[in-house]
Amino acid sequence: MLTPFSGGNKIDYESLLTFIRWLEEGGADGLFAVCQSSEMFALSVDERVELAGFVKENSNLDVIASGHVDKSFEEQLETMYRIADTGVDAVVLLSNAFTQEGENDDILIENLDRFLSAFKTDTPLGMYECPQPYKRLLSDRVLEYLLSSGRFIFLKDTSCDISTISRRLDMMKGANFGLYNAHAGTLIESLKLGGTGYSGVHSNFSIKLMSYLCRHFADSEKASEAAEILARIDTFQRNNLYPICAKEMLKYRGIFKTIETRTKDTNLFEEKNRSETEFLLKNLLEFETRLKL
């Protein structure tokens, strides 16, 4: 999920509620609040907790949330306790939050052990290979640790590599553990291999498209048509200052009031970017109308 801000750079909860309804009505099965797209690194602890609680309180879907971007172990632990206390359906840990870049798996597992021993809650856990501040992909050894712990129920995979995804899915067979692919380019193949679903930025452009694709991935004709426009979204968001471009599209849709963000300079979003946003939205609306989504 994105976080809408008002002109005063405060969280715009009115727009957030409209956004929740748009995602629900578009076919989302769950909501990931307090993630990188939510600009969690630019939110205070209180804002992260309040954001998670608001989404959970105002949606009938499962809601998951992360947010332990604090510096110390004690601060991270306190934050995740507060997030869990909002009643979210799962708390999401970041794979890069337990080591410095370059440290080995022994250190990661040791620090995860320490965290799990201290985090005494029945709230299910997920793991997210968050790209910021650096991407730490899970090794097979660490994934096996998560599976054997009995506390984790899913991975948000950002490997962007179908061979890695395939190997991970083989390891997960028989376990109460799902793989949610964040990479649109490998999504269809990952679903065919048994992946659980999609969790990524493209849902913020057209939740109807992503929902449609996840439900019709086995139909080659329908999947091919959806994948074609999905590729256009992928190129677009990479070249147009995400998350600003997604907020601009949601503004055109009447969901957000502003494109304010704390992570990018909105002054860099120029007329060319707005024109490309309008063009892509036109394509998406035509696709959604044609398929009666």
34-to-48, 193, 238, 254, 282 alpha-carbon distances in Å: 6, 29, 21, 22, 29
CA separation for the pair 190, 183 (Å, rounded) = 10
pLDDT of residue 267: 95
Encoding tokens for residue 264?
A: 């990018």
Q: How far is CA 128 from the centre of its chain?
A: 9
DSSP state of 129: -
- State how far the Cα of 150 lies from the Cα of 94, in Å rounded to an integer: 17
Exposed/middle/buried for 270, CB within 10 Å: 0-12, 13-18, 19+?
exposed
Strands (E), the chain: 30-33, 62-65, 90-94, 125-128, 152-157, 178-181, 197-198
What pLDDT is stored for residue 76 in this prediction?
A: 97
CB 30 within 8 A of CB 38: no
CA 64 to mean position of chain CA atoms: 10
Copy the structure tokens of residue 80.
């995740």
> Of the ranges 4-13, 22-31, 172-181, 221-230, which one carries the lowest mean pLDDT score?
221-230
Q: 51 falls in which pLDDT band (50, 70, 90)?
A: very high
Residue 293 confidence (pLDDT) above 90: no
Strand-pair partners of 178: 154
pLDDT tier, 291 (very low <50, low <70, confident <90, very high otherwise): confident
d(CA 84, CA 234): 33
User: What is the reported pTM?
Assistant: 0.95
CATH annotation of 13-216? 3.20.20.70
Task: Report residue 66 CA to chain centroid gap.
Answer: 10
Q: What are phi and psi of 93, to 5 degrees?
A: -90, 150
> pLDDT tens across 73-95, in order?
999 999 999 999 999 999 999 99
Where are the chain's structural domains?
A: 13-216
User: With left for phi above 0 and alpha for psi between -120 and 50, is residue 194 left, alpha or beta?
Assistant: left
Radius of gyration of the chain (CA): 19
pLDDT above 90: residue 131: yes
14 burial level (CB within 10 Å; 0-12, 13-18, 19+): exposed
Q: Find out whether 38 and 3 touch, Cβ atoms under 8 Å.
A: yes
For the chain, what is the mean pLDDT?
Answer: 96
